[in-house]
Amino acid sequence: MTTFSDLTRLPDARGHFGPYGGRFVSETLSFALEDLEKTYMSLRDDPDFQAEFDHDLAHYVGRPSPLYHAERWSRQLGGAQIWLKREDLNHTGAHKVNNTIGQALLAKKGGKPRVIAETGAGQHGVATATVAARLGLKCDIYMGAEDVQRQKLNVYRMHLLGANVIPVESGSRTLKDAMNEALRDWVTNVDDTFYIIGTVAGPHPYPMLVRDFNAVVGREARKQSLEQIGRLPDTLIACVGGGSNALGLFYPFVEDEGVHMIGVEAGGDGIETGRHAAPLSANAPRGVLHGNRTYLMSDEGGQVLETHSISAGLDYPGVGPEHALWKDVGRVEYVAANDEAVLEAFRELTHVEGIMPALESAHALAHAKVLAPTMRTDQHIVVNLSGRGDKDILTVAKIDGVEF
Amino acid sequence: MNRIDQRFADLKEQKRTALIPFITAGDPAPEHTVGFMHALVEAGADVIELGMPFSDPMADGPVIQKACERALKHNVRLSHILAMVEEFRRQDNETPVVLMGYLNPLERMGLQAFAEQASASGVDGVLVVDMPPEEADEIAPLFKEYHLQSIFLVAPTTSKERAAIICDHGEGYLYYVSLKGVTGAATLDVTSIDQQLESLRQMTSIPLCVGFGIRDGETAAAVGKVADGVVVGSALVSRIADNCERPERAREELKRILSDMRQALDACPGRCFRQDDL
């Protein structure tokens, strides 16, 4: 029987989270991953490295991000108090930068002059292009051709930052295909290139190090809860695509058994329609993609399925392996929010609190909207507001029938 | 004796270098694959590597990616691929067949079911690209039980420590990836391949075959001087791509290219020959 404190000691030496995770890659990548693992393990407990990371987070990213009491929205919902962890206020507008700062430091230590990344909504691409600009690194961003269309603003933002955005035309032309292409690039250019993966998926050690770099979110939220609420929250809610913002928030609370955690996946048109991106909530079979074993949406022949979501950032058929284990052991509850409910939450928070959330984060808000009224007014929910919605204005305008 | 071991033993005796063509099962359509396999044997193939198409072939370049897409348009599944091997075996009970692909379709079918049915269909070896030996705990004993040989990749970047582990697990032959990059990529450096193969020979006695970057008779012969076998994939698959609508023509092209390589290899005393001189 796994106890919750055991969970914090994972992954094991081979990068496994129970039956999930691992390093399922072609031999051509093994060397680079071993090298990265060695570099990271030698630095993760190095006080100088941590100090440099913390310094960048404070002075470049603007951390700590506030824990904001959404009083008006809470009152309107008539139940639990909702607190927003304001990752949207970070430099570049999302939690993604926590990780890119960390991995860019690793790239620098490893002396790599070039970084590459995959991106879905473009937030990770922007965060990578940003740190690359700051460190003077050459930067190529792979982005599904479909997402390039959906997220034009972020594409141009990356151009302005000096990055080269490469549209990926293969497969479903979304996030998973961008990741395939980035892996192919890395295999070819491994000598001078560092691959900054944007989520807690991919081969070991990525799920571990992306989690570690994002765990600052949960550490802050825990401390802020004790200070501002006077105790730990009852419930944490975060959206889950690959799952990096959720792991970042949840991880420091794993041993706090009284804290209920809920990951909200992209329900798309509804789980029952098959048009979604919610492998955990839909109980997708176990599978292997992008170097790790996890819950994976694939057909009976084992071919990876196309996913559907209003938010490009959650449009991914797999999920970080640590989430897969947390589902199995019951530490985290996973649910899905449909596109329609997500849009409603997006509009509601914008109207009631003057905060425009990213469509990804609006998944977490949509579930908070359902859950809060079922709770007492002296109970507290912390929602990870993982990103801001500026990038989604064109998407929402289009739904409203407005063209610019 | 397993067909792969038997074939390499014969080749050694004949002082010949193994020629190993790769095609993707179901490309451009399932009904052509068995015919292509027979054509490859007629043109001098010693072992056939049959690709199992996957939606996300991360280690492959555009040529094999497109082959996967063409095959998957016909919804080619493992059960179909095993039926192709079974059909091939009705006429050819000698040429070893190695399945090459990615892990997810195998896991989805069930590893036990896959091993059992692959063996019954006449498959001799399996190369799972995204399954290094460290992750093979579950699959390796099943393959052993069903007499399927586990073929592994070795790369130019593979450390000595890892090479030792791979040599420990590898059966049939080792597939040495001659370049960094994906399948179908650029140029070869035969001297560096020679050095790497020599260091592998300190660790294992199984045949060392080289793939990635072999496109014609000349490159095949150059690599044949230092390796026990050469693997050719993208050069063949691109001919299939160019002749999707004319499968007969594709078949002739496959034969032509492979025959050229066969002749070039046989004209040039290979490594097996050299080894006996030592």
Q: How far apart are CA A76 and CA A74, in angstroms?
A: 5
Banded model confidence at residue B277, pLDDT cuts 50, 70, 90: very low
- State the residue for tokens 């250019």: A189
- Decide if B22 contacts B231 (C-beta within 8 A): yes
Interchain CB distance below 8 Å, B55 and A170: no
**Residue A96: exposure state from Cβ atoms within 10 A (0-12, 13-18, ≥19):** buried
Nearest-neighbour CA in chain B from A41: distance (Å): 19
Residue B18's DSSP bridge partners are B229
- Closest CA relative to residue A206, chosen from A124, A133, A137, A279: A124
Amino acid identity of B138? Answer: E
Interchain CB distance below 8 Å, A303 and B107: no
Q: Is B138 on the interface with A (CB under 8 A)?
A: no
For residue A151, the model assigns a pLDDT of 86
For residue B65, the chain A residue with the least C-alpha distance is: A170
Interchain CB distance below 8 Å, A183 and B129: no
Interchain CB distance below 8 Å, A177 and B104: no
Number of H helices, E strands in chain B: 13, 9
Query: What's the structural domain count of chain B?
Result: 1
β-pair type (B48-51, B97-101): parallel
Q: Give the other-Cβ count within 10 Å of A131's Cβ.
A: 28
Distance between terminal CA atoms of chain B?
Answer: 27
Instruction: Write out chain A residues lying below 8 Å of B75, CB-based.
Output: 301
Nearest to A285 among B108, B158, B166 (CB): B108
For residue B212, the model assigns a pLDDT of 81
For residue A181, the chain B residue with the least C-alpha distance is: B58
Q: Evaluate whether residue B92 is within a structural domain.
A: yes
Alpha helices in A199-335 (DSSP H): 206-214, 216-228, 244-250, 321-328
The torsion defined by the Cα of A14, A280, A238 and A327, in degrees rounded to 10, comes to -60
Q: Give the other-Cβ count within 10 Å of B277's Cβ.
A: 7
The whole-angstrom distance between residue A122's C-alpha and the CA centroid of its chain comes to 12
- State the residue for tokens 């001659």: B178
Nearest to B108 among A23, A190, A301 (CB): A301
Residue B125 pLDDT > 90? yes
DSSP state at residue A344: H
Q: Evaluate whether residue B278 is within a structural domain.
A: no
- Decide if A313 contacts A225 (C-beta within 8 A): no
Distances (CA, A) of A328 to A19, A264, A286, B138: 10, 16, 12, 20
Amino acid identity of A263? Answer: G
Residue A165's DSSP bridge partners are A141
Distance between terminal CA atoms of chain A?
Answer: 57
Q: How far apart are CA A264 and CA A342, in angstroms?
A: 11
What's the CATH code of the domain at B149?
3.20.20.70
> pTM for the complete prediction?
0.95
For residue B272, the model assigns a pLDDT of 54
- Decide if A154 contacts A122 (C-beta within 8 A): yes
Residue A197 has φ and ψ, to the nearest 5°, of -75, 140
For residue B278, the model assigns a pLDDT of 41
Amino acid identity of B9? Answer: A
Banded model confidence at residue B163, pLDDT cuts 50, 70, 90: very high
Nearest to A30 among B61, B107, B132 (CB): B132
Q: Evaluate whether residue B160 is within a structural domain.
A: yes
Domain that holds residue B243: 3-272
Question: What's the half-sphere exposure (Cβ side, CA atoms, 13 Å) at A297?
Answer: 24
* For the ranges A174-178, A385-389, B210-214, B216-220, the one whose mean pLDDT is highest: A385-389
Q: Evaluate whether residue B133 is within a structural domain.
A: yes
Q: Evaluate whether residue B153 is within a structural domain.
A: yes
- Decide if A241 contacts A261 (C-beta within 8 A): no
- Decide if A335 contacts A262 (C-beta within 8 A): yes
The whole-angstrom distance between residue B196's C-alpha and the CA centroid of its chain comes to 19
Token pair listed for A46:
């190095």
Nearest to B181 among A27, A187, A285 (CB): A187
Interchain CB distance below 8 Å, A28 and B134: no
Q: How far apart are CA A344 and CA A346, in angstroms?
A: 5
How are strands ordered across the β-sheet holding B97-101? B149-150, B125-128, B97-101, B48-51, B18-24, B229-232, B208-211, B174-177, B152-154
Q: How far apart are CA B155 and CA B25, in angstroms?
A: 25
Banded model confidence at residue B166, pLDDT cuts 50, 70, 90: very high
Interchain CB distance below 8 Å, B182 and A180: no
Average pLDDT for chain B: 93
The whole-angstrom distance between residue B145's C-alpha and the CA centroid of its chain comes to 22
β-pair type (A291-295, A20-24): antiparallel
Q: Mind listing the pLDDT tens digit for each residue in B16-63? A: 999 999 999 999 999 999 999 999 999 999 999 999 999 999 999 999
Residue B164 pLDDT > 50? yes
CA A215-A21-A121 angle, 5° bins: 60
DSSP state at residue B186: S
Q: Give the other-Cβ count within 10 Å of B13's Cβ.
A: 10
Token pair listed for A373:
């009224």
Q: How far apart are CA A201 and CA A56, in angstroms?
A: 24
For residue B189, the model assigns a pLDDT of 81
Instruction: Give, for all 404 residues of chain A, the pLDDT tens digit.
Output: 456 778 989 999 999 999 999 999 999 899 999 999 999 999 999 999 999 999 999 999 999 999 999 999 999 999 999 999 999 999 999 999 999 999 999 999 989 999 999 998 899 999 999 999 999 999 999 999 989 988 888 999 999 999 999 999 988 888 999 999 999 999 889 889 999 999 999 999 999 999 999 999 999 999 999 999 999 999 999 999 999 999 999 999 999 999 999 999 999 999 999 999 999 999 999 999 999 999 999 999 999 999 999 998 899 999 999 999 999 999 999 999 999 999 999 999 999 999 999 999 999 999 999 999 999 999 999 999 999 999 999 999 999 999 88
Q: Is B74 on the interface with A (CB under 8 A)?
A: no
- Write down all domains in chain A, each with its CATH number in brackets: 19-57+96-210 (3.40.50.1100), 64-93+215-399 (3.40.50.1100)
Q: Is B59 on the interface with A (CB under 8 A)?
A: yes
Q: Evaluate whether residue B177 is within a structural domain.
A: yes
Least confident segment among A21-25, A149-153, B110-114, B219-223: A149-153
Please enumerate in sequence order all residues whose Cβ is within 8 A of that of A169, keeping only pairs 6 or more positions apart, or say none: A145
Q: How far apart are CA A350 and CA A88, in angstroms?
A: 13
